[in-house]
């Protein structure tokens, strides 16, 4: 089987539209399964992870390849929740055709629109399958009207349903004018169009012909002369329009009732783009993909308890043979393709060769991550990694047992390698391990996987806010440390003046000792003591910043003085000064960038104002408005879920640290009170 007989198709759409059910129906229709798996029963091929079975929805991309009339069709099933959009983006890079699954009941939903833009940015062909037309309140015509309204005039139905809702019995093709009816199985009975559909099919056929002839000047000229294109010309024209990104065919049926599934598979073979027709992916190294040599892109890695690290890859150039050495361009290391296999769900089938355009997996390339490029050594080309969204929500995570602390660190590192939309950090200011992702569901699934894949159970909490303390007052104090224990004692005295520093300037130590009242070698010890005391906080236990400390005099003893004595003198100076320094609390302010549909701008800005946000700018774009603001971190926890509610799921945001600013007094009072209560319990 050559590259021209390969079709790579990613299933995209909103959660609940029936993507996994469609993958199951295609596998059953191709004779690869003995029953159509059910998401509700947890026995589907592509939703096999424990987290997917328990949730009843996809959380990871999965492969479902099958053969159809001499062609290999690689189906990639993807999640429809926005929390798992990283999986969808990764799959788009590996595909040549994006097949959007749209519910005939619910119509075009939020994630369908988001996925449409991503597939368009990648430049791959797009088609639509209107699913669930057997359900009550479903409507093909209403859904097509909505598709045209949202995605433009390139939306072109090539099928219509026969019957509706519970009476759905088949589909009719506009090209060829044939009807296909079903009676409980995947095999269709072909017949002529029923009289009841003649008028509808003729009207849609005219629209289809007009859409197709516009893709070819010669065909358009003949059409104006009264010569309609033949069926083969329509197929070729539709194919050309798909490859050019101007035509988006619409098919229909029901995945659960196996209606139109065989027609969909035949459509993919007849109309779908060949791998060679896919636009080349963007490169970060090299000017273009070479004609000779191997170039493969790793779009997904995963940890398997039996096989080890699995890397799913798409071959863009060349053929890969078993045991060939390929170079990972990112790390500059070679790896042997010793264990190559095809994946269907969780099942593996060994292969000896992967042809250009195909998708396969390899195990035990331990340094390989998603987004890496594997090439013939020395080829000098690298595919740019797919752009991934930044985390928008965070949990603090703690191992349930203390001896799992190191194990947790390893498990989190592995999780991030498998999912680039995750991030983790050790927050020194709060002594917490912070796990960040794209939302509640994303983090919940990640935490469940820490237990099932890595054997680490964790507790979670909202991250502590890394407040800072500063001072408004001044103090001139004596820091004195004196200790006698019968032998050599400890003695050190430092006179220190404390005063506020410029906001954001941090801590500044100024040595004004003259005449050797503190020996030069002990001055750094005073500085160290002051630093340590300020780090512990003065009012609520948070580090004190923006302070000037001037040491201007002191006393020492020729025998009893040492570095420790003057370090303790520095600590005592801070303690003596604390009641006079008028401590104030600073809170972290975040730079927030929110994208919202224009209709929701007022609600979003009002909500940001309630969160003590300061609106900096509003910039209108073709698809919505970008609002820039500064807002305190303490009021932004859980914001992504609230934003999705305000914007019906269409809003997005990113956030990064900007600066520290003084807390309102009521907020500071609450934080200080809580700190005192915690200390009282110790």
DSSP label of 188: P
pLDDT at 266 over 90: yes
Q: What are phi and psi of 226, to 5 degrees?
A: 95, 10
345 contacts 63 by C-beta, under 8 angstroms? yes
Predicted local confidence at residue 656, as pLDDT? 86
What is the model's pLDDT at position 590? 93
Nearest CA to 250 among 145, 361, 118, 135? 145
CA–CA separation, 436 and 442 (whole Å)? 9
**Secondary structure of residue 456 in the 3-state scheme:** coil
Nearest CA to 361 among 338, 335, 341? 341
State the CB neighbour count (10 A cutoff) for residue 440.
Answer: 14
End-to-end Cα, the chain, rounded Å: 71
Q: What is the mean pLDDT of residues 416-445?
A: 90
Task: Report the percentage of the chain scoring pLDDT > 90.
Answer: 67
pLDDT at 237: 86
Residue 670 CA to its chain's centroid (Å)? 35
Question: Quick one: pLDDT at residue 430?
Answer: 82
pLDDT tens column, 110-149: 889 889 999 999 999 999 999 999 999 999 999 999 999 9
What pLDDT shows up at residue 682? Answer: 59
Tokens of residue 392, six digits: 């928008």
pLDDT of residue 137: 95
pLDDT band at 489; cut points 50, 70, 90: confident
Contact assessment for residue 173 and residue 231, using Cβ atoms and an 8 Å cutoff: no
Q: Which helix (H) or strand (E) holds 655?
A: strand 652-662
In this model, does residue 662 exceed pLDDT 90? Answer: yes
CA distance 585 to 505: 16
CA distance 503 to 272: 61
Instruction: Check residue 1 and give its pLDDT.
Output: 67
Question: In this structure, which long-range contacts are made by residues 185-189, counting pairs with CB atoms below 8 Å and at least 24 apart in sequence?
Answer: 185/258, 186/25, 186/28, 186/29, 186/258, 186/261, 186/262, 187/262, 188/262, 188/263
- How far apart (Å, rounded) are the C-alpha atoms in residues 651 and 640? 8
**DSSP class per residue in 52-119:** HHHHTS--S-EEEEEEETTEEEEEEE---SGGGHHHHHHHHHH-SEEEEEEETTTBS-HHHHHHHHHH
Q: Per-residue pLDDT tens for 510-566?
A: 999 988 899 999 999 999 999 999 999 999 889 999 999 999 999 999 888 899 999
Question: How many helical (H) and strand (E) elements, i.e. helices and strands, does the chain have?
Answer: 16, 36
Q: With contact defined as beta carbons under 8 Å apart, do 594 and 609 qualify?
A: no
CA distances from 412 to 61, 408, 424, 425, 656 (A): 20, 6, 7, 10, 22
Instruction: Lowest mean pLDDT of 238-242, 254-258, 402-406, name the range.
Output: 402-406
C-alpha–C-alpha distance, residues 386 and 118, integer Å = 10
DSSP state string for 489-513: -EEEEEEEEEEEPPTT--EEEEE--
When the pLDDT of each residue in the chain is averaged and rounded to a whole number, the result is 91
Percentages (nearest 5) of helix, strand, coil residues in the chain: 35, 30, 35
**Is residue 531 within 8 Å of 572, Cβ to Cβ?**
no
User: Which of the two residues, 233 and 595, has the higher pLDDT score?
Assistant: 595
The reported pLDDT for the residue numbered 486 is 66
Is 49:384 a contact under the CB 8 Å cutoff? no
Distances (CA, A) of 599 to 149, 184, 399, 650, 653: 17, 45, 44, 11, 17
- In terms of pLDDT, which residue wins out, 664 or 674? 664
Helix axis angle for 639-646 and 601-610, nearest 10°, is: 150
Count of all residues that appear for the chain in the document: 682
Q: What is the pLDDT of residue 343?
A: 94
Does residue 358 surpass a pLDDT of 80? yes
Residues 634-645 pLDDT 10s: 999 889 889 989
What are the structural domains, with CATH classification, of the chain?
3-277 (3.40.50.300), 283-383 (2.40.30.10), 393-461 (3.30.70.870), 469-581 (3.30.230.10), 585-666 (3.30.70.240)
Q: Whole-angstrom Cα distance, residue 309 to residue 370? A: 11
Cα–Cα distances (Å) from 442 to 55, 58, 209, 363, 447, in that order, read: 12, 11, 45, 25, 9
pLDDT at 40 over 70: no
Q: What is the mean pLDDT of residues 90-118?
A: 94
pLDDT digits (tens, 9 = 90+) for 187-230: 999 999 888 888 888 888 888 888 778 777 788 888 887 788 88
């Amino acid at each position: 089987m050559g590259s021209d007989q390969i079709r790579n198709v990613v299933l995209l759409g909103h959660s609940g539209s029936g993507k996994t059910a469609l993958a199951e129906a295609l596998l059953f229709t191709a004779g690869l399964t003995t029953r159509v798996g059910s998401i509700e029963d947890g026995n589907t091929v592509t939703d096999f992870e424990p987290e997917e079975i328990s949730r009843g929805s996809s959380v990871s991309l999965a492969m479902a390849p099958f053969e159809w009339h001499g062609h290999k069709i690689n189906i990639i099933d993807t999640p429809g929740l926005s929390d798992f959009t990283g999986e969808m983006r990764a799959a788009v890079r590996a595909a040549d055709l994006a097949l959007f699954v749209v519910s005939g009941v619910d119509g075009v939903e939020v994630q369908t629109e988001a996925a449409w833009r991503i597939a368009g940015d990648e430049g791959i062909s797009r088609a639509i399958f209107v699913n669930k037309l057997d359900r009550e309140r479903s409507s093909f015509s209403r859904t097509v009207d909505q598709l045209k309204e949202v995605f433009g005039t390139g939306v072109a139905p090539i099928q219509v349903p026969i019957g509706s809702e519970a009476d759905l019995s088949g589909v009719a093709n506009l090209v060829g004018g044939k009807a296909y009816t079903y009676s409980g199985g995947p095999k269709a009975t072909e017949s002529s169009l029923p009289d009841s559909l003649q008028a509808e099919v003729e009207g849609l056929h005219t629209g289809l012909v007009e859409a197709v002839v516009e893709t070819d000047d010669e065909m358009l000229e003949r059409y104006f002369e009264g010569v309609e294109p033949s069926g083969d010309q329509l197929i070729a024209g539709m194919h050309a329009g798909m490859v050019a990104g101007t035509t988006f065919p619409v098919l229909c049926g029901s995945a659960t009732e196996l209606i139109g599934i065989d027609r969909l598979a035949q459509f993919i073979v007849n109309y779908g783009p060949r791998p060679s027709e896919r636009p080349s992916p963007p490169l970060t190294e090299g000017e273009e993909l070479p004609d000779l040599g191997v170039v493969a892109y790793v779009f997904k890695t995963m940890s398997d308890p039996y096989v080890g690290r699995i890397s799913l890859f798409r071959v863009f150039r060349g053929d890969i043979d078993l045991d060939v050495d390929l170079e990972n361009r990112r790390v500059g290391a070679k790896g042997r393709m010793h264990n190559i296999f095809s994946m269907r769900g969780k099942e593996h089938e060994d292969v000896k060769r992967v042809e250009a355009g195909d998708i396969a997996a390899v195990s035990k390339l331990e340094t390989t991550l998603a987004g890496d490029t594997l090439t013939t050594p020395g080829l000098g080309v690298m595919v740019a990694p797919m752009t991934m969204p930044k985390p928008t929500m965070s949990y603090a995570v703690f191992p349930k047992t203390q001896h799992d602390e190191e194990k947790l660190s390893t498990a989190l590192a592995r999780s991030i390698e498998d999912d680039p939309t995750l991030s983790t950090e050790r927050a020194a200011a709060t002594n917490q391990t912070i796990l960040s992702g794209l939302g509640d569901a994303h983090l919940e699934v990640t935490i469940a996987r820490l237990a099932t894949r890595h054997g680490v159970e964790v507790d979670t909490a909202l991250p502590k806010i890394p407040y800072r303390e500063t001072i408004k007052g001044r103090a001139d104090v004596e820091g004195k440390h004196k200790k006698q224990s019968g032998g050599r004692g400890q003695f050190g005295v430092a006179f220190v003046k404390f005063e506020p520093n410029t906001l954001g300037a941090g801590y500044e130590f100024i040595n004004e000792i003259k005449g050797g009242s503190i020996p030069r070698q002990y001055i750094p010890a005073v500085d160290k003591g002051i630093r340590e005391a300020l780090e512990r906080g003065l009012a609520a236990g948070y580090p004190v910043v923006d302070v000037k400390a001037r040491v201007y005099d002191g006393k020492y003893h020729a025998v009893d003085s040492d570095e420790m004595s003057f370090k303790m003198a520095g600590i005592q100076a801070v303690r003596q000064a604390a009641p006079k320094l008028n401590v104030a609390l600073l809170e972290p302010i975040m730079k927030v960038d929110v994208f919202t549909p224009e209709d929701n701008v007022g609600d979003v800005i009002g909500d940001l104002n309630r969160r003590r946000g300061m609106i900096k700018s509003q910039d209108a774009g073709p698809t919505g408005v970008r609002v820039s603001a500064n807002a305190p971190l303490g009021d932004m926890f859980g914001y992504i879920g609230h934003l999705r509610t305000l914007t019906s799921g269409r809003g997005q945001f990113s956030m990064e640290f900007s600066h520290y600013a003084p807390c309102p007094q009521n907020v500071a009072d609450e934080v200080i009170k809580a700190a005192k209560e915690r200390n009282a319990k110790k």
